[in-house]
Amino acid sequence: MIIVPGSASRKLAESLAKKIDASIAHIEQQRFPDSECYLRIHTDLHGEDVVLVQTAFPDENIIELYLLQHAIRDFKPAKLTTVIPYLGYARQDKKFNPGEALSAQAIIELVQKLSDAVITVDVHSKSILEWFDVHVEEVSGMPPLGSYLREMKTPPEIVIAPDEGAKERAAAVAKTIGCEYDYLQKHRLSGEKVEIKPKELDVSGRTVAIVDDIISTGGTIIEATKQLKKNGAERVYAACTHGIYAKNALPRLQDVCDTIISTDTVERETSVVSVANEIAKKL
């Protein structure tokens, strides 16, 4: 098995290669002055089982992913498995007005076109997996996040989901740690004032981890952290699979959260947890 690393997922690809004892293909990649991508694969992939690892975010990395798939197919490999650690556009899974692009479906059609199989991590809505025509596997970043949190100097005593829809993710992390879990509810106190608090558990004097699949603008996490500390939480950690941190979210999160943790699906300074082992199990 040979792993082809995309530029957006080089560290994850290297970690994965060690897990499965695979070699890493030699890739030449550069940008022309007009920002178009040039790619060349120097390793012979003819007849090999090839695993391409490339996050599909932001847009330029989707183009690179497709160009890499095209270059790999020229070698006539035995099999191409595309590992997409973060599947961009996955949240655009519904049409609300006539003429809107169903973006999640469009990206899936593109990334599966040259693939024999696809592996992705924590898609926001599992229903979009039905749009794949090739074999697809989803892995979860929650168990490795839980393992990391469990080994912290002060591990969480409660794991909290930002809403009821993310409760299963909180449960998975809490199970790994061996602690309680809950989810946040919003209570409107007036036309302008909203209180966010756990549905059942008391956080007073306790260390809390808020977990979710994605942290994008961070608004919900920031407000929830403030409210949890008002309710007496001693420490609040924010943990996610995909650290997007749009609109300068990371420094704003760092102002209120005690620790911010993400996986290496999107390579950030907070990427202290790897999903390589979870992907290796599927391979």
Active site members:
186
Helix axes 59-74, 103-112, angle to 10 degrees: 20
Task: Look up tokens 């943990």; give the residue.
Answer: 239
β-sheet bridge partners, residue 188? 194
Sign (positive or negative) of CA dihedral 126, 89, 167, 175: positive
Task: Look up tokens 């469009």; give the residue.
Answer: 106
**What are the Cα distances from residue 151, in Å, to 126, 146, 209?**
30, 9, 13
Sign (positive or negative) of CA dihedral 43, 46, 49, 54: positive
**CA gap 162, 198 in Å, rounded:** 9
β-sheet bridge partners, residue 28? 40
Q: Is 65 exposed, middle or buried (0-12, 13-18, 19+ CB in 10 A)?
A: buried
Helix (H) and strand (E) counts for the chain? 8, 15
Element (H, E) at 59: helix 59-74
Half-sphere exposure of 210 (CA within 13 A, CB side): 33
Task: Look up tokens 């939480």; give the residue.
Answer: 233
